[in-house]
Amino acid sequence: MWIIFAQQPWEFHMNVQTTNDDVGKTIHRMTEILGRKIFMIRYQFSLIWNLSADKRAYVLGAKSLRNMCDTVVSKRMKEYEKMQQNNISEDHVIEDGFRTKSKVMLDLLIKHSDLTEKDLKDEVSTVIFGGTDTTSNATVYTLLMLGLYPDVQQRVYEEVMDVIGPENSVETEHLLKLEYTERVIKESMRLFPVVSIVSRYVAEDVEIGDYVAPAGITIGFPIIHIHRSANYWKDPMKFDPDRFLPENIAKRHPLSYMPFSSGIRSCIGWKYAMMNMLTLTARIIREFTVFTAYKSLEEIEVQLEIFTKIKNGPKIWFETRS
């Protein structure tokens, strides 16, 4: 069992009108607090948790984030209603007087679902909270691996230039062709899964080998240890994107790799996350060369909270390509 004792708790205060820059910081702080809530023994006692500075800080952050989401949803719903009244085509979204053909997730939910305003606010809160630190951290781990393995980085750069070109915008059809880059991202997420551990409630007795997990308990699945286990991966601490060639995937147990969890409670936005990470990686590698101060994979120490964190890291920097 992993027990992580965090540093001295701290408090933060947010205004009701949270700016976009504040959102990422708020979510980052909230996930740190949740990590302490899960792994610190004293926080398993409700009285101690309820009286803690971490609890007060978490409530403030959650209120601030919820206010921001509520404001966004209410504003978009009013705009949608106005468009309907003025017979403006629903195939367009009006932004600052300009018309664009793209729609965001919220527009599609408003148009194609029967969700109430409260339901929409809940959905947006979930997506923002679950999709901010996750994709950014995963992209950082990918860039770290590219800095550590220059030959891999060069191959990714060549693929990006071949598929997208030096100046073209990254389009959906490009992402489908970035096969090696996608394998690099997947291998990075094997070694550094964003979510290090997931849990599942046991609804009925389940036999697991020689043991029986009784109904009513919660089981934790240490994803990072599964991803690095020699039981499932040959030479597990070797960075090898070709592990994710179709023929190699077929040889492994399907649950030996689950960066987005698995089953009916798996991440609903994993496809969007992969598209996001591919786009970010391609744009960055096209413009910059990535370097890291680490000399080997073994030097990189991780700290397990809700999300996997690199201790004293990630120690990467960029230089503009000539």
Residues placed in the known binding site for heme: 267
CB 205 within 8 A of CB 180: no
Tell me the C-alpha distance between 30 and 28, whole Å: 5
Which residues contribute to the annotated binding site? 267
CA angle 151, 273, 143 (to 5 degrees): 25
Q: Can you read off the two tokens belonging to residue 292?
A: 């890291």
Q: Where are the alpha helices (DSSP H) in the chain?
A: 20-39, 46-50, 53-85, 105-112, 117-131, 133-148, 150-163, 172-175, 179-191, 223-227, 246-249, 270-287
Tell me the C-alpha distance between 113 and 111, whole Å: 6
CB 244 within 8 A of CB 24: no
